[in-house]
Structure 1
């Protein structure tokens, strides 16, 4: 993670006798001065997470003193002012209505990635496969958000998650356990689908797709805190897609594929998988209106 220690953390102090309401106002000012795009929202999320309060309680308890939580809030304020994402400070992130553990070893899940889940579930439901014992593999599983979410939504399915990072796989295992699907998923340390014979009915992936030359241009929240392995997709951002397509050819089995893609990469990814026998069967847009997931069927 390049640059995390490049700048000293700003000096921020909250007092034990300070009220929650005053702390919220101060934290908002600190984050605004640090150039955070959403200072008030982030201040609320941090205080809610650190104090264990929902939105209504945060307001109703505004006169309560911070007490022993003042030091933790001071530390969190310094970290967010240095552009560390809220989810990394709190150690968890909501995704598709579930709470996932997030550590420095995994990509911070984005709401746009829910397009992959929607695309996969839509495809499965439209074909009447929701109750079938499907076999699903998640390439580059990271925190496990995709495979764990799909298994939680499809109680008869089983899955495999692969990743080159052992540390990421440990986070995925923790998430699978905490969300009740650990007995239906197996995690494998490997590149792509190497060593995974299947058979699989569905391949899903949110692979690294930022081109190497663009990494330094990313926002600090991303380039300084997301693992480089989860961002760098090679010279053109498409290296991992080619790897997955080649693995699918080696499997020699018809299957479905749902992939997250960069906002301008859909056509290039579709072309890569067309060469592997793929036929486009769906595109799904993210919250910004960009094609964020493509669904294909592979006929070998």
Structure 2
């Protein structure tokens, strides 16, 4: 079948389904179905029948608003290639702001020895940090055993399994010890706002990783109470924030005896990464 015909049909279906960047997503999925790069796809005119069938199945799934990452089973983040599944949130570019903030406040790549990631999901934050700090080992914790298992797969995929461990647990309840760095992207969407999420998120990504309680701050209360017992003397924590949450989370942190080193904005101008340390 002709490539141009396939892409046109897919783009039209995606547009009708309310998907932004319909043409771009059609090309991305055809590359995935063809197991080729965009440049290689540009050089092709006809698409084999087996690839057409795989592509049409992907079109059907995406038209139902299933995220592209769940269709392909993977997602890029920072310098990593990660497996993804409905057990976890799909890693997002906004979360890379936490790594930018961490590298700014801990620029010596040899001094960080231990990293804790609470609510690890795919393991994206912990594994990306371990890539940057070659002397460090890390522990990722997630309430879902399936998420912890997926994070272990990602550690193996990125050559970090000897320096990363993942366990299922309730935040820091089972953790004893102190860490040079604590990272977390907790659930922070207000419960009443969950019904307003895009169907790509609301119908496919795990609500436990999104729903932050009535005011969106439930997880931050737990984290801020825990951080003084988790951070080493010169340690720092970097927490991801939802839109408009910087002031409220700052107040929670300061009431727990922590000080704010920075609140870093993401590329969209949202205050996204709160950096904390001992007062």
Short-chain TM bin: over 0.9
Q: Distance in 1 between matches of 2:231 and 2:151?
A: 28
Match of 1:110 in 2: 92
Q: Distance in 2 between matches of 1:248 and 1:150?
A: 18
Q: State the shift of 1:283 in Å.
A: 1.7
Match of 2:114 in 1: 135
Q: 2:4 aligns with which of 21, 26, 36?
A: 21
Q: Distance in 2 between matches of 1:124 and 1:52?
A: 39
Q: State the shift of 1:20 in Å.
A: 2.2
Q: Supply the RMSD in Å over aligned alpha carbons.
A: 1.3
Tell me if 1:210 matches 2:189.
yes
TM-score when scaled to structure 2? 0.96
Matched position secondary structure for 1:141: coil
Tell me if 1:238 matches 2:220.
no
Q: State the shift of 1:91 in Å.
A: 0.4
Match of 1:262 in 2: 242
Q: State the shift of 1:66 in Å.
A: 2.8
Which blocks of at least 5 consecutive residues in structure 2 are unaligned?
Answer: none
Q: 2:54 aligns with which of 63, 68, 72?
A: 72
Matched position secondary structure for 2:162: helix
Q: State the shift of 1:249 in Å.
A: 3.2
Q: Distance in 1 between matches of 2:7 and 2:50?
A: 16
1:253-286 deviations in Å (ceiling 9; x for gaps) = 5321101000110111111111111111112111
Report if aligned partners of 2:189, 2:216 keep a CA contact under 8 Å in 1: yes
Q: State the shift of 1:21 in Å.
A: 2.5
Report if aligned partners of 1:152, 1:180 keep a CA contact under 8 Å in 2: no
Paired residue total: 278
Q: State the shift of 1:163 in Å.
A: 0.6
Match of 1:124 in 2: 106
Match of 1:182 in 2: 161
Q: Distance in 1 between matches of 2:80 and 2:264?
A: 21
Q: Distance in 2 between matches of 1:90 and 1:297?
A: 39
Tell me if 1:199 matches 2:181.
no
Tell me if 1:54 matches 2:37.
yes
TM-score when scaled to structure 1? 0.90
Q: Distance in 2 between matches of 1:81 and 1:133?
A: 45
Matched position secondary structure for 2:170: coil
Match of 1:276 in 2: 256
Matched position secondary structure for 1:181: coil
Q: Distance in 1 between matches of 2:79 and 2:203?
A: 27
Distance 1:292 1:252, change over 3 A: closer
Distance 1:152 1:167, change over 3 A: same
Matching of residues 139-178 of structure 1 within 5 Å: 139-178=118-157
Q: State the shift of 1:208 in Å.
A: 0.4
Q: State the shift of 1:90 in Å.
A: 0.4
